[in-house]
Chains A and B, each alone.
Chain A
């Protein structure tokens, strides 16, 4: 079954066309890594799949229904965290706040809600963390709680927006392994956006690479080639393989490592 289907999708942010007439299909149970330079439309694409952002043209279907229709089936881990700097609240209440948080009334969970929160925390092995104030946890520990929050209600599709950002390399691999394990256990479809491809090499089934309004979807070997990336970056790009790692290099130097080649196509 198809989890996500994009048909001639054009997405815009204000005046700017982010993705232009993109077609892609992602099967249920796939783990897809989403890459591309800053501003290439990774977050925009996830928001469109969520149904928060409507496509300018074309159609997005999630499990056969129009995007946004099956809210509970989609778990989302947003990238921007404007509000968590000094949160003294404990992890449990943070995760629980997302359990049917859109309903009016008091934030009282009931036994069903408590079971859902407990299940999520157990799935990401964060039961102990949940008792501590959020602000006292390390970046990797906070990321586990954010993942637990996204898993509430056992979604069939998980959209993770840059969960590796600001984590040191050691924790990056831990988070990827954790997501992979959870994906297998719950049989979910995962879209995982990141700046760096290498931490995801062992985990992902396919790559979705965005750039210059276009998208390339395929196996790592099919997408990570000089030809495909040069087209997406609109610049000569070389792809090097060193000790099983993939390094993307432009005429100006490494692209991925610094991640500073940017969206001048606006």
Chain B
């Protein structure tokens, strides 16, 4: 299948986006901000459809809208965690706007499907370059802020006492999330950003309690699921998005079972006769 140009591009784009999503998603899950990430992609929908209407490439409309929304959410800082209703209202408003823009735009259906559900097989060489460039920038930014980000995530009160600006860290991180979401939309679409940004990260946090191994595993899972999804799509002719979401959910479900199995095995190893109690 790699003899086809579009497949090569799909694998390359999938790899770039999966690495970014896996890394950024790990901190998103750690910060309990998965709903905010989900909402950002919906805000992007209004931007992308608006861009179509203006004749601008939808990716840039998407990116600008997610970045503006990231800044707004980031300024809420720690208070964002309790604002699901407000975030949800903005989410539905954005989708509504997107529907309006689409209805004003003439050639509607294919663009809408690609935006909502992704189209990794349709990524052009030109967009691959943009994806790679933005990916490098967001990973570099994540590297620079990851230390205070982790501190502010795990212990906001202590971090603040030690001079970390919670608001600055929150804004910078959500800007990175905005870029990652815009990238993930290219692969799995607006509605299914969860599959790449949350599924692998949540599974990694369950499977590997260490930070370093967790981040690496999250990236590894995202990349593997994306590759397998694209390959399965090639052989079955079913959409890659379907396969990626199926693999993502499957891995997450398995990760829920894994620690339980490990815990059941643990008392047997120690072999204390009196540990045969109900749990």
Contact = CB atoms under 8 A, between A and B. Distances in A.
B81 A88 contact: no
Given A89-B214, A106-B147, A97 B154 contact: yes
Interface in B217-267: none
B214 A78 contact: no
B160 A101 contact: no
B148 A103 contact: yes
B155 A97 contact: yes
B146 A107 contact: yes
B129 interface: no
A149 B155 contact: yes
B45 to A, nearest CB: 30
Nearest to B144: A104
Given A82-B78, A83-B32, A102 B143 contact: no
Contacts of A80: 157
A55 B148 CA distance: 27
A52 interface: yes
Interface stretch (B178-186, B188-196, B204-212): B204-212
A71 B163 contact: yes
A133 interface: yes
Contacts of B81: 82
Given A89-B205, A149-B158, A105 B147 contact: yes
A132 interface: yes
A149 B157 CA distance: 13
Judged by DSSP, the binding face of B is: helix
Contacts of B214: 89
A94 B205 CA distance: 13
B55 to A, nearest CB: 40
Contacts of A101: 147-148, 150-152, 155, 159, 162, 164
Nearest to B154: A97
Contact of A52 (B32, B155, B160): B160
B270 to A, nearest CB: 13
B161 interface: yes
Interface in A94-134: 94, 96-98, 100-107, 131-133
B82 to A, nearest CB: 9
Interface string B135-171: 0000000011111101111111111111110000000
B104 interface: no
Interface string B47-88: 000000000000000000000000000000010010000000
Given A82-B81, A92-B210, A102 B151 contact: yes
Contacts of A167: none
A50 interface: yes
Nearest to B159: A101
Contacts of A93: 150, 209-211
Greatest chain A CB density within 10 A among B143, B148, B214 is at B148
B30 interface: yes
A89 B158 contact: no
B206 A88 contact: yes
Contacts of A233: none
A71 B158 CA distance: 11
A230 interface: no
Contacts of B161: 47, 50, 52, 76, 78
Nearest to A103: B147
Interface in A14-67: 47, 50, 52
Nearest to B165: A102
Contacts of B210: 89-90, 92-93
B209 A90 contact: yes
Given A98-B151, A102-B163, A103-B148, A89 B157 contact: no
Contacts of A94: 154
Contact of A88 (B31, B148, B159, B209): B209
The 10 closest A-B pairs by CB, nearest first: A101-B151, A78-B157, A90-B209, A93-B211, A88-B205, A133-B209, A107-B147, A102-B162, A97-B150, A97-B154
28 contacts: A71-B162, A71-B163, A81-B157, A82-B78, A82-B156, A83-B32, A84-B154, A87-B30, A88-B209, A89-B30, A89-B209, A89-B210, A90-B210, A93-B209, A93-B211, A96-B211, A97-B150, A97-B151, A97-B155, A98-B159, A102-B159, A102-B164, A103-B148, A106-B146, A106-B147, A107-B151, A132-B209, A133-B209
Interface of A: 47, 50, 52, 71, 76-84, 87-90, 92-94, 96-98, 100-107, 131-133, 149-150
Given A90-B210, A92-B210, A101-B148, 10 more contacts: A47-B161, A76-B161, A84-B154, A101-B155, A101-B162, A102-B151, A104-B145, A106-B146, A106-B147, A107-B146
